[in-house]
Amino acid sequence: MKLDGIASFVAVAEEGSISGAARTLRLSKSVVSERLTELERSLGATLLHRTTRKMSVTEDGTAFLERAKRILREVSEAATDLAERRGTLSGPMRISAPVTFGRMHLGPALYPFLAANPEIEMSLELDDRRVDIASGIYDAVVRHGAIDDSRLMVWRLAPSRRVLVASGDYLASRGTPATIEQLDAHKGIFYINRGVADWRFATSTGIEIVRARVGVRVNNGDMMRDAAIAGLGIALLPLFICGPDIRNGKLKVVDLGVQPTPEFIYIAHPEGRRPSAKLRALAEHLKAAFGEPPYWEDRVI
């Protein structure tokens, strides 16, 4: 049984076709097909159903697939460990991060790290949905907020201060709330992926929850900021999104005399898997790049 055959099988199973696997592996379709045939011959089992349109995994293939993925991952990690012993950060790394934070801050911080470590093969997937880091698909996830999954090991990268903001036109027409209670008379711009449309504030008596009327709900921080600038309501946004718009006057801070519950920028990896040297190095690089307090909070309010 050869590793290149196992790699070809996993690629075909994930892509659904030999042509897709060939693109992923940067091989010809004939080479991928030959490797699959040789693997099936060595195992004495049919791993894939072949049709003219697509390929699907057989029952035997399904039983073999997860172990095949584990074999490839362990071989890759072993090679990476050897490279790290020689002082080189190398090998594949797959990270998931939120869209807005990835575009505005993670990317600019990440590029110098990758330039300094050219042997790292980075896959960065930007997605505002919560991904299952415990599945083992990702080496780590970068997230904003609280991470409650007990199956994760979490490293804090930076604090993330949030503020209530609205456009000057909205506040001029609807009034500027001065207390938590006055928020009830206003429309809110909420983040769908948090589930409940509410705001939480840390008061002297504990956490106070406010459920304002919904003006709009979206699943992206950029669009929440844009909706606030358009005068559709009040939004609770991290300064890494709305800081520039506060500085240039497009958004006004609504000060209620209390602070939203604290949140942070985290990087998390699955519990039980030893984090690689390159992941530890990336976390330290990002902490230094963001700073504490982070640079996006400088000269805002």
Cβ neighbours of residue 135 closer than 8 Å, sequence gap 6 or more: none
Q: Are residues 113 and 73 in the same domain?
A: no
161-177: pLDDT as tens digits: 999 999 999 999 999 99
Q: What is the pLDDT of residue 272?
A: 62
53 and 140 belong to one structural domain: no
Q: Are 178 and 166 in contact (CB under 8 A)?
A: no
For residues 214 and 187, the answer to whether their CB atoms sit within 8 Å is yes
Instruction: Enter the tokens of residue 62.
Output: 């399904």
Mark whether 67 and 7 lie in a shared domain.
Answer: yes
The tokens for 24 are 């992923």
Residue appearing with tokens 């003219």: 52
Q: Which residues have CB under 8 Å from 210's CB, separation 6+? A: 180, 183, 184, 198, 199, 200, 201
d(CA 235, CA 253): 10
In the numeric block, which tokens belong to residue 247?
A: 């500085």
For residue 197, the enclosing domain spans: 162-261
Neighbours of 25 (CB within 10 A): 18
Q: How many residues would you count in the chain?
A: 301
Domain end (from 84, 99, 117): 84
Structure confidence by residue, pLDDT tens digits, 117-156: 998 989 999 988 877 776 667 889 999 986 665 667 889 9
Q: Are residues 187 and 55 in the same domain?
A: no
Residues 130 and 276 in one domain: yes
Residues 121 and 71 in one domain: no
**181-192 burial code (b ≥16 CB/10 A, e <16):** eebeebbbbbbe
**Strand partners for 195:** none
Residues 206 and 248 in one domain: yes
* Domain co-membership, 202 together with 112: no
- Per residue in 20-38, pLDDT (tens digit) is 888 888 889 899 999 999 9
For residue 120, list its beta bridge partners: 91
Instruction: Give the count of domains, the chain.
Output: 3
Both tokens of 276, joined, read 């690689």
What confidence score (pLDDT) does residue 102 get?
Answer: 95
Separation CA 165–CA 251 (nearest Å): 6
Nearest-CA neighbor of 74 among 136, 154, 14? 136
- Give, for all 301 residues of the chain, the pLDDT tens digit: 788 999 999 988 888 888 888 888 888 989 999 999 999 999 999 999 877 667 889 999 899 998 898 888 788 777 767 766 666 788 888 899 999 999 999 999 999 999 999 989 899 999 888 777 766 678 899 999 866 656 678 899 999 999 999 999 999 999 999 999 999 889 999 998 776 778 889 888 888 888 888 899 998 999 999 999 999 999 999 999 999 999 999 999 999 989 998 899 999 887 666 778 889 999 999 999 999 899 998 876 6
Please state, in angstroms and rounded to a whole number, the distance separating the CA atoms of residues 254 and 32. Answer: 60
- Residue indicated by tokens 């091989």: 27
Q: Identify whether residues 268 and 199 lie together within a single domain.
A: no
Query: Distance of alpha carbon 183 from its chain centroid, rounded?
Result: 31
pTM for this entry? 0.71
Identify whether residues 249 and 102 lie together within a single domain.
no
Q: What is the Cα 177 distance to its own chain's centre?
A: 34
Look at residue 142 in the predicted model and tell me its pLDDT. 94
CATH of the domain at 59: 1.10.10.10
Rounded Cα distance between 125 and 143, Å, is: 12
| Cα distances (Å, whole numbers) of residue 225 to 174, 235, 239 | 18, 7, 11
Q: What is the CATH number of the domain that holds 182?
A: 3.40.190.10
Element (H, E) at 187: strand 187-191
Do 79 and 156 lie in one domain? The reply is no
Nearest in space to 286 (alpha carbons), one of 130, 101, 151, 145: 101
Spatial contact of 142 and 104, defined as CB atoms under 8 Å apart:
no
Q: Are residues 122 and 171 in the same domain?
A: no
Hey, which residues does 130 pair with through a beta bridge? none
